């Protein structure tokens, strides 16, 4: 399986490589792999009876090892007179037929088409530290010499780290010459480095075959063991595939020896080979070191639970790591449109990936954690597209034997837009069927918005901006059956979703108008019809600011003025706000205080939502607190009478402690 960092913009290739090669200096770099790690690929393309040239041999033992297993016609060249002298002396007795010649690879003295195979182990990397014009001139000489001394049908094997400028040069030179081109990832070389607890970087063997080909194919790319290669017809695809491998390896190497800072988010998408759709997402979390904690584990999130706070937010995942007593935790979520086996199957599938994300000296057996032994159940019921929200999906999930229906916008896949609980009913005739439970409020903030409405002196007429799946309006109608509710939503698709999939029903008391909420408020401010409460429950599509609910236009002075004009004299304004930036919140509160007599706020513990209630009439805090308490009792009484579990009641004492005034 392949790892692809989701935060790949952090990797600036040139800066990384410049630092890498400065640290490397002139030292021999065994990490490229020695014969035992490279032989399985070398033997596929180089035959024992071939005339073999090893360019830039240095003091590598690669030629010695090939000679010892039967490759007797080997010539080694290097520009260094000293290393050639040393290698001759070291091998003259044991390997008398192997040649060592001091020679510049950019100006070789061999006859044309003399060799069957040429092996370059890190030489091109050393010759081409950059893509300056002077460097390119020398590399062109080198590759032209490779072309000249290699027989037709022969192979040039280049073992390289494949920096981008080197990869581009190889593609340009050999593809333009119509050679066959393959890229193979040298897994065994990387595995040895990993076993030795060294930094692991991807090693590639580029196999260029001097065979005239009219194919448009640039490369066959073999990045995983025991799989068919990926065919690439465009240079960009070749570069993207290699770059994704490099980026994930660089980050994994970095993770091995460092701790993730509090404000960093490290996440990977995990793909099956040759698939363009991610199969898993991995989030790596470090918490402040505690000696008594375990070192490292992975946590598999069952399908359908990835949107829960504990798994979908940075804060939640850190809390999960603390609860599991691990200093590092990798949280794994599954994707829709994928088929999964048992939990044990998933563990086997992910085992190698989890090792790559481990800190230094991980436990010999990395534990896998989960909520239970189930992988979860997810059934896609409908997929569509909204002109306002883009692609969306409606799916049913099963959690702890309870089924839920959810709406997701694919641009924010970890955020549940609407949720309904399903229950099975048995009609007098026919088979049992599943229906939406009209009394279930998936969004906890809807309960406190309902509570806020009770604070008003009158509850005859409400305006709700934002339909969603219709859960809030359905509950309001059940709770306040005589209240007229006008629901405003800009998206006609939302009404279709709510009625067809989430049990929303229009009636004489519940009316829906498809209209921009801002236009509705402007029209309403000029109308004689007034509302006892106006509720904003609408999300923002602009993720560039620290507020995801409501859109900023809904809090501009002109809009708030229209709200005030649309309310009765004793009306209230109820705002569901999700504000991450404290400065933005402060500015909003200050603006609202200029226009309303009193403001109360209640921040939910388990969500980012805050319910802000604004009173048009002048009321005392004592009166409001008394009303809040009475309203909690009234709402709990309704919840209890409808058989809802106690966990869905309002904790009156806790709520009264947390309610605040601005």
- Provide the residue ranges of all domains of the chain, joining segments of one domain with +: 2-232, 258-370, 381-436, 444-661
Q: What pLDDT shows up at residue 471? A: 92
5 confidence band (pLDDT: 50, 70, 90): low
286 confidence band (pLDDT: 50, 70, 90): very high
1 confidence band (pLDDT: 50, 70, 90): low
Q: What pLDDT shows up at residue 3? A: 63
Domains 2-232 and 444-661 share a fold: yes
Dihedral sign, CA of 451, 452, 457, 463?
A: negative
Q: Is the pLDDT of residue 203 over 80?
A: yes
- Per the model's pLDDT, the better-predicted residue between 191 and 499 turns out to be 499
| pLDDT tens profile 546-563 | 788 899 999 999 999 999
Q: What pLDDT shows up at residue 141? A: 96
Q: What pLDDT shows up at residue 9? A: 35
Q: Is the pLDDT of residue 25 over 50?
A: no
Q: DSSP label at 111?
A: P
Q: What pLDDT shows up at residue 45? A: 94
Q: What pLDDT shows up at residue 6? A: 52
Give exposure, 25-55, as e/b (b: 16+ Cβ within 10 Å).
eeeeeebbbbbebbbebbeebbeeebbbbbb
Give me the percent of the chain exceeding a pLDDT of 90: 58
Q: What pLDDT shows up at residue 558? A: 96
- Per the model's pLDDT, the better-predicted residue between 662 and 21 turns out to be 662
630: helix, strand or coil: helix
**E strands along 335-409, which residues?**
368-370, 377-386, 390-399, 402-409
- What is the residue-averaged pLDDT of the chain? 87
Judge residue 517's burial from the number of C-beta atoms within 10 Å of its C-beta, 0-12 exposed, 13-18 middle, 19 or more buried.
Answer: buried
282: helix, strand or coil: strand
Q: Which helix (H) or strand (E) holds 298?
A: strand 294-300
Q: Is the pLDDT of residue 230 over 80?
A: no
Specify the range with the lowest mean pLDDT, choosing from 455-469, 618-632, 634-648.
Answer: 634-648
Query: How many Å is the Cα radius of gyration of the chain?
Result: 33
- Most confidently modeled of 32-41, 395-404, 521-530? 521-530
**E strands along 122-223, which residues?**
150-160, 180-185, 204-209, 219-222
Q: How much is the average pLDDT of 173-182?
A: 85
Is omega for the bond preceding 171 within 30 degrees of 0, making it cis? Answer: no
Q: Is the pLDDT of residue 100 over 80?
A: yes
Q: What pLDDT shows up at residue 197? A: 67
Fold classification of 444-661 (topology level): Rossmann fold (3.40.50)
Q: Which helix (H) or strand (E) holds 263?
A: none
Residue 216 in tokens: 């448009």
Specify the range with the lowest mean pLDDT, choosing from 3-17, 297-311, 424-438.
Answer: 3-17
| pLDDT tens profile 294-337 | 999 999 999 988 888 889 888 889 999 999 999 999 999 999 88
Q: What pLDDT shows up at residue 221? A: 79
301: helix, strand or coil: coil
Q: Is the pLDDT of residue 277 over 90?
A: no
DSSP labels, 455-514: TSS--SEEEEE--TTSHHHHHHHHHSTTSEEEEEES-HHHHHHHHHHS-----SSEEEEE
Q: What pLDDT shows up at residue 266? A: 85
Residue 335 CA to residue 340 CA, distance in Å, equals 10
| pLDDT tens profile 107-155 | 999 999 999 999 999 899 989 988 999 999 999 999 999 999 999 999 9
Q: Which CATH architecture best describes the domain 2-232?
A: 3-Layer(aba) Sandwich (3.40)
Q: Is the pLDDT of residue 18 over 50?
A: no
7 confidence band (pLDDT: 50, 70, 90): very low
| pLDDT tens profile 53-74 | 999 998 889 999 999 999 999 9
Dihedral sign, CA of 436, 439, 442, 443?
A: positive
265 confidence band (pLDDT: 50, 70, 90): confident
């Amino acid at each position: 399986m392949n790892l692809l960092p989701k935060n790949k913009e952090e990797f600036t290739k040139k800066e990384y490589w410049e630092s890498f090669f400065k640290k490397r200096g002139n030292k021999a770099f065994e990490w490229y792999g020695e014969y035992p790690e490279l032989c399985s690929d070398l033997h596929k393309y180089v035959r024992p009876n071939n005339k073999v040239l090893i360019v830039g041999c240095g003091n590598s033992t690669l030629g010695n090892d090939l000679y010892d297993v039967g490759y007797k016609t080997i010539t080694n060249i290097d520009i260094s007179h000293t290393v050639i002298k040393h290698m001759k002396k070291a091998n003259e007795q044991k390997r008398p037929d192997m040649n060592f010649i001091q020679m510049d690879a950019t100006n070789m003295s061999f006859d044309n088409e003399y060799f069957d195979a040429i092996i370059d182990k890190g030489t091109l990397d050393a010759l081409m530290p950059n893509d300056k014009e002077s460097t390119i001139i020398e590399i062109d000489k080198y590759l032209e010499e490779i072309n000249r001394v290699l027989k037709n049908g022969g192979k040039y094997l280049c073992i390289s780290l494949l920096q981008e400028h080197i990869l581009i040069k190889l593609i340009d030179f050999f593809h333009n010459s119509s050679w066959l081109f393959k890229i193979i990832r040298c897994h065994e070389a990387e595995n040895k480095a990993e076993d030795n607890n060294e930094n692991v970087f991807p090693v590639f063997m580029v196999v260029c075959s001097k065979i005239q080909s009219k194919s448009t194919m640039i490369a066959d790319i073999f990045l995983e063991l025991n799989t068919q290669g990926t065919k690439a017809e465009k240079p960009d695809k070749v570069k993207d595939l290699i770059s994704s491998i490099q980026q994930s390896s660089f980050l994994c190497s970095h993770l091995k020896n460092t701790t993730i800072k509090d404000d960093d988010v490290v996440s990977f998408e995990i793909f099956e080979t040759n698939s363009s759709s991610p199969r898993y997402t991995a989030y790596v979390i470090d918490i402040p070191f505690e000696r008594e904690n375990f070192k490292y584990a992975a946590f598999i999130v069952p399908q359908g639970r990835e949107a829960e706070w504990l798994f979908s937010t940075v804060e939640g995942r850190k809390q999960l790591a603390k609860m599991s007593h691990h200093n590092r935790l990798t949280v794994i979520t599954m994707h829709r449109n994928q088929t999964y086996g048992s939990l044990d199957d998933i563990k086997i599938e992910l085992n190698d990936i989890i090792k790559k994300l481990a800190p230094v000296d991980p436990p010999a057996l990395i534990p896998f954690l989960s909520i239970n032994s189930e992988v979860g159940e997810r059934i896609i019921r409908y997929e569509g597209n909204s002109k306002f929200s883009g692609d969306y999906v409606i799916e049913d999930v099963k959690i702890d034997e309870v089924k839920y229906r959810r709406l997701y916008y694919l641009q924010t896949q970890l955020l549940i837009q609407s949720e309904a609980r399903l229950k099975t009913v048995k009609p007098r005739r026919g088979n049992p069927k599943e229906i939406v439970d009209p009394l279930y409020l998936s969004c906890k903030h809807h309960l406190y918005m309902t509570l806020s409405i009770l604070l008003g002196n009158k509850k005859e007429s409400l305006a709700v901006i934002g339909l969603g799946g219709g859960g809030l309006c359905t509950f309001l109608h059940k709770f306040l059956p005589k209240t007229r509710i006008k629901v405003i939503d800009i998206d006609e698709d939302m009404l279709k979703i709510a009625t067809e999939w989430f049990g929303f029903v229009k009636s004489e008391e519940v009316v829906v108008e498809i209209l921009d909420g801002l236009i509705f408020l402007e029209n309403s401010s000029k109308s004689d019809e007034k509302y006892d409460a106006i509720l904003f429950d609408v999300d923002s599509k602009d993720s560039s600011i620290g507020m995801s609910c409501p859109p900023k236009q809904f809090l501009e002075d002109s809009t708030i003025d229209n709200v005030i004009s649309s309310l009765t004299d004793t009306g209230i304004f109820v705002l569901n706000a999700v504000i991450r930036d404290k400065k933005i919140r402060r500015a909003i509160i200050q603006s609202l205080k200029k226009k309303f007599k009193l403001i109360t706020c209640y921040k939910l513990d388990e969500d980012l939502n805050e319910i802000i209630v604004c009173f048009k009439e002048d009321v005392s805090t004592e009166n409001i607190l008394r009303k809040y308490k009475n309203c909690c009792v009234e709402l709990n009484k309704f919840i209890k009478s409808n058989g809802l579990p106690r966990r869905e009641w309002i904790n009156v004492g806790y709520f009264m402690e947390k309610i605040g005034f601005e």
